[in-house]
Structure 1
Amino acid sequence: MHTFLLVLEILFSIAIIVVVLMQPSKADGLKALMSGNSDTFFSKNKARTKEVMLARTTVILAVVLAVVTMLLDLIK
């Protein structure tokens, strides 16, 4: 059981690193503020964009990683 949880922790760690690196930087948000055009397709459909999906995936992976880490600590 310990080995299985350790492998899960490694896999989730790699997955969260990949998902975080896939997220775009937030520096382009300042450029949109300066132009004043905030009524775009992406601002209207924010729940369906790739950025939101990556952010949700990051949160889910972080919670699962925390749970697996706590289980590993309890089993020790």
Structure 2
Amino acid sequence: MTIFITIIHIIVAISLIAIVLLQSGKSAGLSGSIAGGAETFFGKNKGRTIDAILSKWTSVAAVVFIVTSLLLALLR
């Protein structure tokens, strides 16, 4: 059981790192703020932008990472 949770924990940790690295920075400069503002202001699908999807997946991966960390701590 511990080995299975450890494998899941490692996969979630690597995916969390990848998801965070895929997100665009908040300080993208003037051109990034203008383009990003136009995309979210005029876009019909505000929740379906790449940044919104990555933000949701970051939250999910973080919760799974915390749960697997707690399970590993309790099992050892």
Q: TM-score range by the shorter chain?
A: 0.7 to 0.9
Larger radius of gyration: 1
Gaps of 5+ in 2: none
Q: Which runs of 5+ in 1 are unaligned?
A: none
Taking the aligned partners of 1:62 and 1:42, their CA distance within structure 2 comes to 25
TM-score w.r.t. the length of structure 2 is 0.81
- CA distance in 2 between counterparts of 1:41 and 1:16 reads 25
Question: What is the Cα deviation at residue 48 of structure 1?
Answer: 1.1
- How many pairs were matched up? 72
- Give the RMSD, CA atoms, in angstroms: 2.1
Counterparts of 1:22-61 in structure 2, within 5 Å, are: 22-28=22-28, 31=30, 38=37, 40-43=38-41, 44=43, 45-61=45-61
Consecutive aligned runs of 4 or more in structure 1 exceeding 3 Å deviation = none
2:64 maps to which residue? 64
**TM-score normalised per structure 1:** 0.81
